[in-house]
Chain A
């Protein structure tokens, strides 16, 4: 039996990417609105349980899945002879290759999203969740920065996923 490293790497990229983006959608569509509703519900149990038991676990899988997704994606671009890591990040300028330019744009969006995860979302979430010490004012600022960075990634994921799929299967318009 031959082992196809390219196919295995693509499979890993899909698995880790779904874990990452799935949790991104969980944060934006479920957890953020749930915490807002829990904090507004004065007679309810509050958001302490989410913040203590759910968010740290979700963030652990979220940030490391982002790393595995990026690394497996970069390896794929380098291994696949039609692309090349450098050519993809140069958006295939001058090569007149629609798949290369398309996957390159997806790679740039994914890279910006990885930056947001590790530089904006995770450091600020550590303050919000009390993993590192912060005043109430610092927590408030951190909460807003993390929220906007997460929403930015939600927005960027929409074209990113279109371009990742379109490189092999064609743009929708």
Chain B
């Protein structure tokens, strides 16, 4: 599989996916 960081589009999509994932982690830690 191609590394998504090879392209600008893949980098931005990865950043958005990471934002969703980490937001869920934050809400779980904070109980909110």
Contact = CB atoms under 8 A, between A and B. Distances in A.
Contacts of B27: 98, 171
Contact of B15 (A33, A96, A155): A155
Contacts of A96: 30-32
A173 interface: yes
A159 B15 contact: yes
A166 to B, nearest CB: 8
Consensus secondary structure, chain A interface: helix
A163 B30 CA distance: 14
B26 A105 contact: yes
Interface residues of B, number: 21
Contact of B5 (A105, A151, A171): A151
Nearest to B16: A158
> Which of A151, A162, A171 is most buried by chain B, counting CB atoms within 10 A of its CB?
A151
A115 interface: no
A24 B17 CA distance: 20
25 contacts: A28-B8, A28-B11, A33-B8, A91-B26, A92-B29, A96-B30, A98-B26, A98-B27, A98-B30, A100-B30, A101-B29, A101-B30, A151-B6, A154-B8, A154-B11, A156-B18, A157-B15, A158-B12, A158-B16, A159-B15, A159-B18, A159-B19, A163-B22, A171-B26, A172-B23
Interface of B: 3, 5-6, 8, 11-12, 14-16, 18-20, 22-23, 25-27, 29-32
Interface of A: 28-29, 33, 91-93, 96-98, 100-102, 105, 148, 151-152, 154-159, 162-163, 171-173
Closest 5 CB pairs of A and B: A158-B15, A151-B5, A159-B19, A101-B30, A98-B30
